[in-house]
Structure 1
Amino acid sequence: MSWLRSARRTMGETVDVELADGVIAQVVPASAAGAITAAGVGPGDVDLSGHVLMASFVEPHAHLDKALTASLVPNLTGDLLGAVAAMDTLRPMTTRADIIARAEAALRIHLAFGTTHIRTHVNVLTGVGLEGLEALIEVRERWRGVVDLQLAALVNDTSGPLLRAALRLGADVAGGCPHMEDDPDRAVAACLDAAGEAGVPIDLHTDETLDPAALSLVTMADLVSRTGFPHPVTASHCVSLSMQPVDRQEEIAEQVAAAGIAVVALPQTNLFLQGRGHPVATPRGLTAVAPLLRAGATVAAGGDNLRDPFHLVGRGDALEVAALMVIAGHLDPARALYTVTEAPRAALGLPAVDLSPGAPADLVAIPGADALDALGAAGVARTVWRDGRIVAHTVVHSELAVPPTVLGGPGPARSLASVSSGPKA
């Protein structure tokens, strides 16, 4: 049992939070300083004064098998096909050990920033086979209980045998890119069939193009509704939805919501890859977030690629994604934070986390007066809890020049002031 003292909720209220047996035991108004002293501070207690406490982040769409490869191979055209070609060039030189090492390095980055659950798509390609999936299964088992992974088998031929082989091997989710196959509608149906046989969710890269004619999202919604597909369904990207007329956007959004399909927006990668053929009034390449939300669909947001040919930069920080949902998606900050916390939990079938008794103690504390302050600054100083135990702790120490007037007169600064940020145990 331990207490998180004087933590701020996202709306600014200050509370004390008791953790016990991996869950939140109670949440009470913050004690006065004297009361805390009188009660005593236990060995596991943490002073979160000046910190916002919220649910840990969930990454609903990553590519850990590609992570941290941007410096190894260039994307010569800067677009989606250029990124695919770059990875094709790198693949013969990539070993299982390389995939594991880079995936684990990416996991450490995500964890330090507060992410405790990740769905990662893993290439399972004709002519390549299951090696990447085997590597990520090893990583999944090693990190279980710290950062939990869901592995989506990303196949390039959903009607072929590889998807079923990947699901038999241990992939958690059926995946693919229907819009890049010869018959997108047939590809969606084939993936649903394989997922239904295996009894697993489906998560498809859907309409990752600005071509308004590409609308396999409609096929997915129709098939899911007509067949009563019983497992969770996620459509990632859905870029072409943003290119439809407003009334068509609304119509499709309502179909998606009625089918219970969760949509994952991926602002970083889509802003980087999309729109290069539109030098005037360049589209943002982000799905139609507002119509989907108005229709009642679950809209999560993810980082997608981390410093690879599909997205050359990125911090692996969910707050960077949330900030882009404010900037590019025009969401208010509270809703943007929801897209990286509760919405992806719903999409991935994870239990909800909020500051209430009985909720899993999967939490992150970030310096800030409230959620907007924490989101705006997005500093690296954070503490992360998984099942009530600290799994990451970052403290930042800065030394800043003191203004001359503080030192007693004009002239150059003659001293440095130390500033540290991070909770105190």
Structure 2
Amino acid sequence: MSGNTPCDLRLGRVRLTDGSVVDVDIRDGRVAAVTLSGPGPATAAGATEVLDLDGYILLPAPAEPHAHLDKALTADVFVNPTGDLMGAIEVWRSNRPDLTVAEIADRAEAAVRINLAHGITAIRTHIDVSEMVGTTSAEALMAVRDRVGHLIDIQIAGLVSTPSVGDSGRANRRALVDTLELGIDVVGGCPHLEDDPAPSIVAALEDAARFGRPVDLHMDETLDPGVLDLVDLARLVIDSGFEGRVTASHCVSLGVQPAEVQREVAALTAEAGVAVIALPQTNLFLQARGVTVSPARGLTPVDTLREAGVAVAAGADNLQDPFNTMGRGDPLETAALMVMVGHMTPAEAYDSVSNTARTVMGLEPVGYEAGSPAEFLAVRAGSLREAIASAPADRVVVHRGRVVSRTVATVEQPD
């Protein structure tokens, strides 16, 4: 039977990951009660709204910890001539000065709604920041946040262009400061593309301390084993006392190091409290182009990092742009890749795109107990494994205790 306390929303007859079938009562944006379902359809007693979710499994809502919404949905317009990272960077840099706030905002909102329909209720997007583009992308994404912030939480990270330090980088760094003053949420950057990575890491930590923001840097997005700036990042974080507020995205080159080096770097990363975001889709697309014998997967060593105590989330990264012409904005696609490429269990893989992703983003984790944030994804599936494998279209998305998206698919087949 459902709880006796009045509630705003009841998710009735929904299956949990342990197989139990329950009614979940939600009040004021949080779980109020979870009780075993009785026989028959879900009842409306005491509930303002009831959804009978017989046949669905209820999951903590996914979060997207690493997106590029200002680039999204441009793959048919800006064509990557080489298919690799530098080809994507060059075609993007040559075209981005022509992009307007309105054009970026419209594409970004479309991308947000794609993610939302697939179950994502929080997203961190990196945006281009440079002397050339100024605050254009920041203004666009802040406009999007104003439009849809009641449906999904949006964090904005300033991805400052290189160079970002020294005399030649002063204007780009000033542009980043301008976006921080405008109100973006996270300090970003790409140290491995700098001539001297360490000073750019120092600058990022200094800006973060000055503005009271976390840091999320693109790190070591290369298969070159001679590049391993994650070590400098971890040491500088420890020296600065910034532990627990820094994220390293990609960390591709760590995956091509000898096992002992991987373990040493993983231990140092854990000591620094640096979280890592694995990005299998884009790195599979960009890395090892032209390598015909045993091409690397371009994935950071997930198991080694997790064994050392590093929080490892997973994200989709780019959505149909020059950096990844594929992608569906679906966290179940990312989770499936973490099973197939990262060799995680389905439960581990889903956690990497949900609660671990939320933790990396500084958000409260989601559970089934009373008091938990009511951030849920209900999928028409009998188990978590089936949900990840099949990625059913039928989904219900709950954010802050209310339904913000629902998709119902119809299949018609002749006899």
The TM-score bracket by the shorter chain reads: over 0.9
- In the alignment, residue 339 of structure 2 is paired with which amino acid? V
Q: Which runs of 5+ in 1 are unaligned?
A: 403-425
Query: Which residue matches 1:204?
Result: 217
Q: Deviations over 1:142-182 (max 9, x none)?
A: 22231111100000233332222221111110000000011
Q: How far did 1:43 drift?
A: 5.2
Query: Which residue matches 1:357?
Result: 370
1:65 partner SS: coil
Query: Which residue matches 2:98?
Result: 93
Cα distance between partner residues in 2 of 1:140 and 1:183: 35
Query: Which residue matches 1:129?
Result: 134
Query: Which residue matches 1:343?
Result: 356
- In the alignment, residue 306 of structure 2 is paired with which amino acid? L
> Conserved in 2, the CA contact under 8 Å of 1:199 and 1:231?
no
Question: Which of the numbers 150, 159, 164 marks the counterpart of 1:158?
Answer: 164
1:308 to 2:313 alignment: no
Q: How far did 1:195 drift?
A: 0.8
Q: How far did 1:41 drift?
A: 8.3
1:23-422 alignment to 2 at 5 Å? Answer: 23-33=30-40, 36=42, 40=45, 42=47, 44-156=49-161, 157-159=163-165, 160=170, 161-229=174-242, 232-402=245-415
Cα distance between partner residues in 2 of 1:52 and 1:158: 46
1:61 partner SS: strand
Query: Which residue matches 2:4?
Result: none
Query: Which residue matches 2:11?
Result: 4
Q: How far did 1:12 drift?
A: 1.8
Query: Which residue matches 2:3?
Result: none
More divergent stretch after superposition (18-27 vs 8-17): 8-17
> Conserved in 2, the CA contact under 8 Å of 1:177 and 1:205?
yes
- In the alignment, residue 239 of structure 1 is paired with which amino acid? V
> Conserved in 2, the CA contact under 8 Å of 1:202 and 1:231?
no
Task: Compute the TM-score of the two structures, normalised by the length of structure 1.
Answer: 0.92
Cα distance between partner residues in 2 of 1:324 and 1:41: 42
> Conserved in 2, the CA contact under 8 Å of 1:200 and 1:231?
no
Q: Deviations over 1:33-76 (max 9, x none)?
A: 28x56x75855111111101011110000000000000002100
- In the alignment, residue 85 of structure 1 is paired with which amino acid? E
Cα distance between partner residues in 2 of 1:93 and 1:165: 20
> % of aligned pairs identical?
48
Query: Which residue matches 1:408?
Result: none
Cα distance change of structure 1 residues 227 and 43 upon mapping to structure 2, 3 Å threshold = closer
User: Cα RMSD between the aligned structures?
Assistant: 1.4
Runs of 4+ in 1 over 4 A off after TM superposition: 39-43
Cα distance change of structure 1 residues 190 and 277 upon mapping to structure 2, 3 Å threshold = farther
Query: Which residue matches 1:18?
Result: 25
Q: How many residues align?
A: 400
Cα distance between partner residues in 2 of 1:260 and 1:308: 32
- In the alignment, residue 23 of structure 1 is paired with which amino acid? R
